[in-house]
Amino acid sequence: MKIGLHSRSSGFTLLEMVVATTIFGMVGIAITAAFQVGRQSQSVVAELAAEGDSMRAATSQLVDDLRGTRDASIVVTGTDTQNHTVTLMQPIVVGADLSWGVFEPRLSADPDEQIRENWRVCYRVNSVVSGDITTRTLVRQILNETGAVQFERTVLRGLRAGNAASPGFQLRDVGDVWELTVSTENTLTGAEGMRMVIHVRTRN
């Protein structure tokens, strides 16, 4: 008499299916989490790059204005615990004579109206309060002889408070050079963002 050997039929048992499904689910969750972290990291890097570009553009304009002026024309107002307001004059040519004032092409399409004697460039920090959040913006203004604003543009957003460990915008005379400090913050957390300290020599 022959005795047949019965092998288990091919396929998966219910337990094996449950284990496999669980493993695939965990792998899928891990892949999704890694993808989200990657996207968040990419977003943070892009935000930092944009902030760095804005900071460089703002400080470049500031440094150019300071290098072109003279110490006697720089007026700084504000205490050590405040963001400063800075006004200065640029060298201009009136007729055939060298004078001081403002050259600003955006004042007018007429070249003669772009040069204004005794006008001043002004950098100040404007603050806007919304609930518990204060947003500070550095603006560059053109002031006429009476101090009235004739032109204004924003050069940098998200500045820190003047009494912060690294103030948002301050200019100090430190002897042979001027020390310019510009720093930003995360408007949601208040943590320090970008910070630049630059020493600038005027044309004196």
pLDDT digits over 87-107, tens only? 999 999 988 889 999 999 999
- pLDDT value, residue 37: 65
Q: Which residues contact 54 (CB under 8 A, 6 or more apart)?
A: 156, 157
Terminal-to-terminal C-alpha distance of the chain: 118
Residue type, 88: L
Dist CA 136 CA 168 (whole Å): 8
Where do the DSSP E strands lie in the chain? Answer: 75-77, 85-88, 90-94, 97-103, 115-117, 120-130, 133-143, 149-157, 169-173, 178-185, 192-200
* Global model pTM greater than 0.85: no
Measuring CA to CA, which residue among 93, 100, 33 is closest to residue 65? Answer: 100
Residues of the chain with pLDDT under 70: 1-12, 35, 37-52, 187-190
